[in-house]
Amino acid sequence: MHSFRQSKRALQWLAMLAACLMLAACGFHLRGAADLPFNTIYLGFGANSAVGTELKRNLQASNARVVDKQDEAEAVLKVLNDTRTSQVLTLNTNGRVREYALFQHFTFSVTDGKGKVIIPPTAITLRRVITYDENQALAKEAEQELLYRDMRSDLVQQILRRLSASKSAIATEKAAADGDE
């Protein structure tokens, strides 16, 4: 009986060790800070923009400085469109709404300090589906706000990834410009 427990415990340790080795071998690592191609950026958001506030916080965590004047920035993010919409997806047999689709449409472009386009106008559309019950209207309204907050976080991460990806485009352009000289 005692040797059975010891062998079971040894198998558990062996399984945990194997799981740790497989996780380490797969290349998994946390995302970390974005590798941005600029040190300063101007954000063209309104003063009370939730997306602008969250993006500013993430940019600062990535060691980029957000400036208040456009002429002080190496990069300028221009917001071309930022809207939220909803669409009825399904109705019940009484003709009442059963499901909604929530959308966040965001379009932006990024230029350098001289006005040269780094990222052309880029549209990001996010969609979430929410069920609706008129007997739980307040709870569903709170759930809708949580979904919009989740969409906002997803939107900020997508913008950061696009800004990071522009680093290789900028390097390619600089190399081409240096080759022309």
Q: Report the share of the chain in percent with pLDDT over 70.
A: 83
Question: pLDDT digit string (tens) for 155-170?
Answer: 999 999 999 888 655 5
Using pLDDT thresholds of 50, 70 and 90, give the confidence band for residue 12. Answer: confident
Ramachandran angles phi, psi of 140, nearest 5°: -70, -30
Residue with the two structure tokens 């740790």: 20
In a domain, residue 124? The reply is: yes
In a domain, residue 23? The reply is: no
Please tell me the predicted confidence (pLDDT) of residue 79: 93
Using pLDDT thresholds of 50, 70 and 90, give the confidence band for residue 54. Answer: very high
Distance between CA atoms of 113 and 116, rounded to whole angstroms? 7
Short-list 94, 152, 144, 108, CA closest to 126 = 152
pTM to 2 decimal places: 0.73
- Total of domains in the chain: 1
Please tell me the predicted confidence (pLDDT) of residue 104: 95
In a domain, residue 15? The reply is: no
In a domain, residue 1? The reply is: no
CATH number (domain holding residue 111): 3.30.160.150
In a domain, residue 144? The reply is: yes
Please tell me the predicted confidence (pLDDT) of residue 16: 86
Please tell me the predicted confidence (pLDDT) of residue 77: 92
In a domain, residue 153? The reply is: yes
In a domain, residue 9? The reply is: no
Question: pLDDT digit string (tens) for 57-68?
Answer: 999 988 889 999
Please tell me the predicted confidence (pLDDT) of residue 78: 94
In angstroms and rounded to an integer, the radius of gyration of the C-alpha atoms of the chain is 24
Residues forming a β-bridge with 100: 88, 130
Distance between CA atoms of 128 and 141, rounded to whole angstroms? 14
Residue with the two structure tokens 């000289």: 181
Q: For residues 115 and 175, which has the higher predicted lDDT (pLDDT)?
A: 115
Question: pLDDT digit string (tens) for 97-141?
Answer: 899 999 999 999 999 888 899 999 999 999 999 999 888 889 989
CB 156 within 8 A of CB 173: no
Domain extent for 91:
31-180
In a domain, residue 81? The reply is: yes
